[in-house]
C-alpha cells in the first residue's frame, strides 16, 4: 500500500514539529518548509533525519509550486506565517501577507494543476474578537481586534472561497490557545514557568506580566495536531473549532505555577503596561460540540496536567 505524503508548510514551529511526529507515527512520508536553519524542535523530537526540509523565505513564495510538485504530496498543512498578536501591531503588512499570500499560491497550484490534494489551514480564536458571555462555535460572528486576527480571518475566508468556487478540498482549524514543551519564552505560559523557576532558584526577583485577569482556553498542542489530521481526513472539507471547551484566568495559572514551588505569587508578580495589548480580548470560550460529534475528537489533557508536564520539562 502506497504511503500517504504530507507537506507541512511551516514545519519548524511547535505545531509543525508535533504534527510531523504524529504523521510519521501514521506511516506518512513527511516533507516540510521552514524559514529557519536550526530546526531545534525537530531535533528535540528526534525526527529531523526522517524528514526532507525545504528552505522557504518569508517573502519569497515562488518556490512553493515547485516544492509541491517535487513532493507529490497528498496533503498540505499550512502552519506558516507571523503568529504574534502583539507583534502584528507593528508588523501589520507581514501579518497579513505571510498568513495569506503563500496560502493563495498553494490553492492556485492545486486549482490549476487539478490535483486531488487536501489543504488544511490554521485559523485562530482571535477572529471572534470580544466574545462576551456566549461560547463561540463555527457559525459565530467575527470581530477581529488585531492585524493578526484579521489575517487569520482572511485566511479562513480564502479557504472557504476556494472550497465553494473551485471544489478544492480546503479545511480550516480554528485554533484556540495551545501549548507544549516546545514553546519559547515569548508565549505567556512558558514565560511564567521559566520565570518562576528562576525566582525559586533566586536567579530572578520578579515576574513581570501584563493583564492577569484575561481568560483563555488553553490546550495541549500534541492533541491539537491530531485534530488537524482528523479534520483533513473527514469525509468532506469543513471548518472546525479546536479547543478544550474550558477557559482559565491567567491569574489562576500564575498562582498554580508559584504554588508548585511553594511560593506566594502575590510577593513576586508585577504588572507592566508594556505587556498590555491594544484591544485585548478579555476571554475566549469555545463550543467544541462539532468536533466531538463529527470527527470524534475530544482533548484529554486539562490545564493542571498541561502545567505539570511543562513544569517537569523545565526542571
Q: Is 11's pLDDT higher than 60? A: yes
Q: Work out whether strand 248-249 and strand 215-216 pair parallel, antiparallel, or are unpaired.
A: antiparallel
Q: Is 88's pLDDT higher than 60? A: no
Confidence grade of residue 133 (pLDDT, cut at 50, 70, 90): low
- Residue 37 has what pLDDT? 74
Q: For the chain, list the domains and their CATH numbers.
A: 5-179+219-245+286-300 (3.40.50.720), 188-215+247-284+304-314 (3.90.25.10)
User: Of all helices (H) and strands (E), which one includes residue 269?
Assistant: strand 269-271
Of 34, 88, 124, 171, which residue is the catalytic one?
124
Which range is least confidently modeled, 75-84, 162-171, 201-210, 253-262? 75-84
Of 31, 34, 78, 126, which residue is the catalytic one?
126
Spatial distance between the Cα atoms of 286 and 183, rounded to a whole number of angstroms: 22
Alpha helix stretches (DSSP H) within 53-179: 64-71, 85-88, 92-98, 101-113, 147-166
Is residue 124 annotated as a catalytic residue, yes or no? yes
Query: Span 24-41, mean pLDDT?
Result: 92
- Residue 58 has what pLDDT? 56
Spatial distance between the Cα atoms of 138 and 287, rounded to a whole number of angstroms: 8
Q: What is the pLDDT of residues 220-231, one digit of tens each?
A: 999 999 999 999
Angle at 284 between CA 129 and CA 120, to 5 degrees: 75
Of 148, 224, 234, 268, which residue is the catalytic one?
148
Q: HSE on the CB side for 82, CA within 13 Å?
A: 25
| Cα separation values, 221 from 121, 156, 285, Å | 16, 20, 17
Q: Is 288 exposed, middle or buried (0-12, 13-18, 19+ CB in 10 A)?
A: buried
Query: Span 83-91, mean pLDDT?
Result: 64
Q: Is 181's pLDDT higher than 90? A: yes
For residue 173, the cross-strand partners are: 122, 240
Give every CB contact of residue 201 below 8 A, 6+ residues apart in sequence.
none
Which range is least confidently modeled, 81-90, 123-132, 142-151? 81-90
Q: Angle between the 147-166 and 101-113 helix axes, to the nearest 10 degrees? A: 10
- Report percent pLDDT > 90 for the chain: 76
Is residue 201 annotated as a catalytic residue, yes or no? no
Mean pLDDT value across the chain: 92
Confidence grade of residue 249 (pLDDT, cut at 50, 70, 90): very high
Q: What is the pLDDT of residues 276-291, one digit of tens each?
A: 777 777 888 999 999 9
Is residue 148 annotated as a catalytic residue, yes or no? yes
Amino acid at each position: 500500500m502506497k504511503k500517504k505524503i504530507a507537506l507541512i508548510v511551516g514545519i519548524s514551529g511547535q505545531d509543525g514539529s508535533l504534527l510531523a511526529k504524529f504523521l510519521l507515527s501514521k506511516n506518512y512520508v513527511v516533507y516540510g518548509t521552514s524559514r529557519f536553519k536550526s530546526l531545534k524542535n525537530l531535533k528535540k523530537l528526534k525526527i529531523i533525519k526522517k524528514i526532507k526540509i525545504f528552505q522557504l523565505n518569508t517573502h519569497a513564495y515562488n518556490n512553493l509550486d515547485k516544492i509541491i510538485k517535487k513532493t507529490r504530496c497528498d496533503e498540505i498543512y499550512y502552519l506558516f506565517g507571523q503568529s504574534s498578536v502583539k507583534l502584528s501591531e507593528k508588523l501589520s503588512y507581514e501579518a497579513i501577507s505571510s498568513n495569506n499570500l503563500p496560502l493563495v499560491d498553494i490553492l492556485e497550484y492545486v486549482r490549476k494543476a487539478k490535483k486531488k490534494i487536501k489543504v488544511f489551514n490554521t485559523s485562530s480564536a482571535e477572529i471572534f474578537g470580544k466574545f462576551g458571555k456566549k461560547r463561540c462555535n463555527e457559525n459565530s460572528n467575527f470581530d477581529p481586534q488585531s492585524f493578526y486576527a484579521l489575517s487569520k480571518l482572511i485566511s479562513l475566508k480564502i479557504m472557504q472561497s476556494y472550497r465553494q468556487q473551485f471544489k478544492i478540498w480546503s479545511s480550516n482549524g480554528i485554533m484556540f490557545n495551545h501549548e507544549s514543551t516546545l514553546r519559547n519564552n515569548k508565549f505567556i505560559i512558558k514565560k511564567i514557568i521559566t520565570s518562576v523557576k528562576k525566582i525559586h532558584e533566586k536567579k530572578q526577583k520578579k515576574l513581570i506580566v501584563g493583564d492577569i485577569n484575561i481568560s483563555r482556553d488553553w490546550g495541549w498542542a500534541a492533541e491539537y495536531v491530531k485534530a488537524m489530521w482528523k479534520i483533513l481526513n473527514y469525509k468532506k472539507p469543513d471548518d472546525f473549532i479546536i479547543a478544550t471547551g474550558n477557559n482559565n484566568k491567567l491569574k489562576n495559572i500564575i498562582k498554580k505555577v508559584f504554588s508548585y514551588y511553594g511560593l506566594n505569587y502575590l510577593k513576586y508578580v508585577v504588572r507592566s503596561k508594556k505587556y498590555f495589548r491594544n484591544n485585548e480580548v478579555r476571554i475566549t470560550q469555545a463550543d467544541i460540540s462539532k468536533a466531538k460529534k463529527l470527527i470524534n475528537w475530544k482533548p484529554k489533557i486539562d490545564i493542571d496536567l498541561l502545567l505539570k508536564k511543562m513544569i517537569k520539562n523545565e526542571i
